[in-house]
């Protein structure tokens, strides 16, 4: 007894989540690119096209609901579909963060650059890679890769603290920099949140593949065997 | 009464305590409200002639809980169910080894009265089997067989059993009518009333809803929630969703072996065995 129809539906769901992941990752990338190249038009476009992400999110949720209602999935299938709904929400939030970054970029563009940007593009590169790897782990049921994503979250957190400390010195030295410094701090905060969403997705992947709930550092608190 | 068997099967105490602890972790009420092993199977093997049908089945079914037995056709789940009240006696050429204790009573011991076993362990079958008698006589049939003919006692038992089977309100004004005139779901509940009229401790159900429509099925399932307050229930079902809905623990059988046995919520969200997972998700074979 094989469930070809159902298997096909699950594959469609996976593909659609991948499309969603690719879409939001690209939007984060473009938002940071717009920041680096002071490209107002790109930033505007990201804000204007957020609807694509929202529509896809609703589409994926509908698909999941329909599968839950009609296929009564159990065990790994149940974990996959319920987690897909959570991953879907995380990806949509990543899309929102891209919009937030683009909005901050629009605040920054009319003003002279405050400083050369070094840590923010590094944060962005790590966060984008985390999203991509979390989705790769999802597609390949690769819990080891998912755990690797979890480890990288700390790097992003540290970079965010570093950005914050550095910009604080600018603001203390010259109140005229406050608006630009705050915009940059907000951008680093958005990137840090994107890494957090990647972490959530990685945790869901571990739940799907191993039926283990590792959220809230549950795994670190387990007594070592 | 419920604790009698704790002494009679002392060698296995350790194992049972473990089971009990597991149950408390799962958030069940305290053991005083059930949860102790009520039916104990130890290395049960059964053959029909040369056909070895059950292999070393060892499991406990807990007091006032619903235990579901699942698995593909021919996996031995119904055979095990029938072992629990010696229904396999009716089949020729059966060999059973191992130990089955029901509330401490060794079911297969030579000294055990099979009638007594079947009074204590009632059974409801796949196809409802009302007798061509009135509803009333159907329900009190077991009591009449036991020699009880006092009208007041029978009336009381009939009402109590029909109420217990959630059927009283539907039939109280026509107890004298034939049981055969009822709907499928009602007939099945008459059979449940007949089973509980003799005050068993355990009720075995062999696919009790497979011939019923969804509404009648839900009524029986609702009834099971109520019945487990008083009785230990073991149900064989092909309907996985039913097992998921009604049971506290689920046992998965394959080719006559117990493959996995655990809390139902775990079995249907995160089974530990690949075979169980494949069966539950419909990817079997």
Instruction: For residue range B55-70, list pLDDT tens digits in order.
Output: 999 999 999 999 999 9
**Residue A73 to residue B283: CA distance in whole angstroms:** 12
The C-alpha atoms of residue A162 and residue A181 are separated, in whole angstroms, by: 13
- The answer to whether A190 and A100 are in contact (CB under 8 A) is yes
The mean pLDDT of B260-270, rounded to a whole number, is 93
Q: What is the 3-state secondary structure (H, E, C) of B140-193?
A: HHHHHHCCCCCHHHHHHHHHHHHHHCCCHHHHHHHCCCEHHHCCHHHHHHHHHH
- Is the pLDDT at B217 greater than 70? The verdict is yes
Domains of chain A from N-terminus onward? 4-221 (1.20.58.220)
Coil/strand/helix, residue A162: helix
SS3 A49: coil
The lowest-confidence range among A36-50, A61-75, B4-18 is B4-18
| Cα torsion A80, A83, A89, A94: sign | negative
Q: In this predicted structure, what is the pLDDT of residue B33? A: 61
pLDDT attached to residue B2: 41
Record the tokens describing residue B117, joined without a space.
């076993």
pLDDT digit string, tens, across residues A161-217: 999 999 999 999 999 999 999 999 999 999 999 999 999 999 999 999 999 999 988
Confidence of residue B92 (pLDDT cuts 50, 70, 90): confident
Rounded mean pLDDT of A71-91? Answer: 95
* Rounded average pLDDT over A55-75: 93
B133, B180 contact by CB (below 8 A): no
C-alpha B94/C-alpha B42 separation (Å) is: 18
With contact defined as beta carbons under 8 Å apart, do B254 and B279 qualify?
yes
Report chain B's mean pLDDT, rounded to a whole number. Answer: 86
Residue A113: exposed, middle, or buried by beta-carbon count in 10 A (0-12, 13-18, 19+)? exposed
User: With contact defined as beta carbons under 8 Å apart, do A40 and A139 qualify?
Assistant: no
Residue with tokens 């819990």: A143
Residue-level pLDDT at B27: 41
Q: Is the CB of B283 less than 8 angstroms away from the CB of A74?
A: no
Q: For position B212, what pLDDT does the model report?
A: 85
Calpha distance B52→B76 (Å, rounded):
10
Per-residue pLDDT tens over the stretch A2-41: 578 898 999 999 999 999 999 999 999 999 999 999 999 9
For B149, phi and psi rounded to 5 degrees? -130, 5
Query: Which of B274, B275, B281 would you mutate first to test chain A, the one with the most A CBs within 10 A?
Result: B281
- What does the pLDDT read at residue B36? 81
Residue B31 has pLDDT above 90, yes or no: no
Evaluate if residue A72 carries a pLDDT over 90: no
In total, chain A counts a number of residues equal to 225
Is the pLDDT at B281 greater than 50, yes or no?
yes
Of B240, B281, B285, the CB nearest to A76: B281
Of A130-139, A148-157, B179-188, which range is least confident? B179-188
Residue B169 has pLDDT above 50, yes or no: yes
Could you confirm whether domain B4-280 is CATH 3.10.20.30? no
Per-residue model confidence (pLDDT) at position B278? 92
How much is the pLDDT for A99?
98
Q: What is the pLDDT of residue B235?
A: 97
Q: Which of B262, B264, B270 should one mutate to test binding to chain A, selecting the residue with the greatest count of A CBs within 10 A?
A: B270
Query: What is the band of B1 on the pLDDT scale with cuts at 50, 70, 90?
Result: very low
- The CB-side HSE value for B142 (13 A sphere, CA atoms) comes to 24
Size of interface A-B (CB pairs under 8 A): 35
Over 50: is that where the pLDDT of B3 sits? Answer: no
Which ranges constitute the DSSP H helices of A49-109? 50-71, 75-108
Query: Rounded to two decimals, what is the model's pTM?
Result: 0.79
Average pLDDT over residues A72-82: 94
Q: Considering only A163-177, B21-35, B182-196, which range has the smallest mean pLDDT?
A: B21-35
Please check whether residue B175 is in contact with residue B138, taking contact to mean a CB–CB distance below 8 angstroms.
Answer: no
pLDDT reported for residue B282 = 87
pLDDT at B21 over 70: no
Give all strands of the β-sheet with B51-62 in edge-to-edge order: B51-62, B37-48, B94-102, B105-106
Is A79 in Cβ contact with B283 (below 8 Å)?
no
How crowded is the C-beta side of A139, counted as CA atoms within 13 Å? 14
**Per-residue model confidence (pLDDT) at position A221:** 63
Q: What confidence score (pLDDT) does residue B211 get?
A: 84
The answer to whether A117 and A104 are in contact (CB under 8 A) is: no
- Nearest Cα to Cα of residue B256 among B60, B101, B37, B47: B47
Which helix (H) or strand (E) covers residue A144, if one does? Answer: helix A143-173
Choose among B122, B138, B111, B130: nearest CA to B203. Answer: B122
Q: Parse chain B into domains and list their residue ranges.
A: 4-280
Which residue of chain B comes nearest to A207, CA vs CA? B270
CB atoms within 10 A of CB B1: 7
- A164 vs B17, more confident: A164
Can you give the pLDDT at residue B91? 87
Calculate how close chain A gets to B95, using CA atoms only, in Å: 33
Provide the phi-psi class of B104: left if phi over 0, else alpha when psi is between -120 and 50, else beta: left
CA nearest B242 in A: which residue? A72
Say whether pLDDT at B18 is over 50: no
B151 touches chain A (CB under 8 A): no
Question: How far off is chain B from A72, nearest CA to CA, in Å?
Answer: 8
Which bin fits B199, alpha (ψ -120 to 50), beta or left (φ > 0)?
A: left
Residue B154 to residue B140: CA distance in whole angstroms:
6
Residue A105 has pLDDT above 90, yes or no: yes
At residue B274, the pLDDT reads 92
Backbone angles phi, psi at B263, to 5 degrees: -55, 135
Q: Which of A105-109, B29-33, B86-90, B191-195 has the lowest mean pLDDT?
A: B29-33
Kindly compute the dihedral angle of the four CA atoms of residues B29, B34, B39, B43, in this order, to the nearest 10 degrees. 30
């Amino acid at each position: 007894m094989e469930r070809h129809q159902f298997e096909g539906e699950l594959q469609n769901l996976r593909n659609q989540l991948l499309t969603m992941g690719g879409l939001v990752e690209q939007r984060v990338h473009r938002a940071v690119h717009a920041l680096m190249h002071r490209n107002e038009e790109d930033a505007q476009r990201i804000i204007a096209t957020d609807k694509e992400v929202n529509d896809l999110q609703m589409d994926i949720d509908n698909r999941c609901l329909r599968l839950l209602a009609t296929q009564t999935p159990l065990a790994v299938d149940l974990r996959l579909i319920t987690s897909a709904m959570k991953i879907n929400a995380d990806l949509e939030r990543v899309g929102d963060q891209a919009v937030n970054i683009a909005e901050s970029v629009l605040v920054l563009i009319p003003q002279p650059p405050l400083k050369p940007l070094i840590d923010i593009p590094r944060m962005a590169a790590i966060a984008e890679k985390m999203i991509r790897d979390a989705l790769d782990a999802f597609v390949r049921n690769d819990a080891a890769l998912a755990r690797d994503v979890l480890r990288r979250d700390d790097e992003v957190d540290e970079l965010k603290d570093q950005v914050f400390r550095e910009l604080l010195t600018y603001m203390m030295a010259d109140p005229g920099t406050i608006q630009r410094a705050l915009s940059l701090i907000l951008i680093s905060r958005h990137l840090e949140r994107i890494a957090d969403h990647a972490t959530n997705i990685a945790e869901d992947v571990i739940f799907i593949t191993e039926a283990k709930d590792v959220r809230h550092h549950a795994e670190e608190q387990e007594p070592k065997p | 009464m419920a604790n009698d068997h704790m002494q009679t099967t002392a060698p296995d105490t350790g194992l049972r305590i473990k089971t009990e602890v597991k149950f408390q972790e799962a958030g069940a009420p305290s053991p005083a409200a059930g949860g102790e092993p009520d039916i104990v199977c130890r290395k049960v093997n059964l053959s029909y002639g040369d056909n070895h049908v059950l292999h070393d089945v060892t499991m406990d079914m807990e007091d006032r809980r619903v235990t579901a037995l699942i698995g593909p056709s021919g996996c031995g789940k119904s055979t095990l169910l029938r072992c629990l009240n010696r229904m396999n006696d009716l089949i020729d050429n059966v060999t059973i080894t191992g130990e089955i204790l029901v509330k401490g009573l060794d079911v297969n011991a030579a000294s055990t009265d099979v009638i007594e076993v079947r009074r204590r362990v009632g059974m409801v079958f796949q196809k409802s089997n009302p007798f061509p008698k009135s509803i009333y006589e159907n329900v009190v049939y077991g009591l009449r067989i036991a020699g009880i003919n006092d009208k007041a006692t029978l009336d009381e038992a009939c009402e109590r059993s029909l109420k217990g089977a959630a059927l009283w309100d539907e039939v109280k004004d026509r107890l004298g009518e034939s049981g055969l005139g009822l709907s499928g779901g009602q007939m099945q509940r008459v059979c449940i009333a007949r089973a509980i009229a003799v005050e068993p401790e355990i009720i075995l159900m062999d696919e009790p809803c497979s011939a019923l429509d969804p509404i009648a099925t839900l009524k029986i399932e609702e009834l099971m929630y109520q019945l487990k307050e008083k009785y230990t229930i073991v149900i064989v079902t092909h309907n996985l969703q039913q097992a998921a809905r009604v049971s506290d623990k689920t046992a998965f059988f394959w080719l006559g072996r117990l493959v996995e046995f655990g809390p139902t919520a775990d079995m249907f969200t995160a089974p530990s065995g690949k075979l169980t997972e494949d069966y539950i998700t419909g990817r079997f074979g």
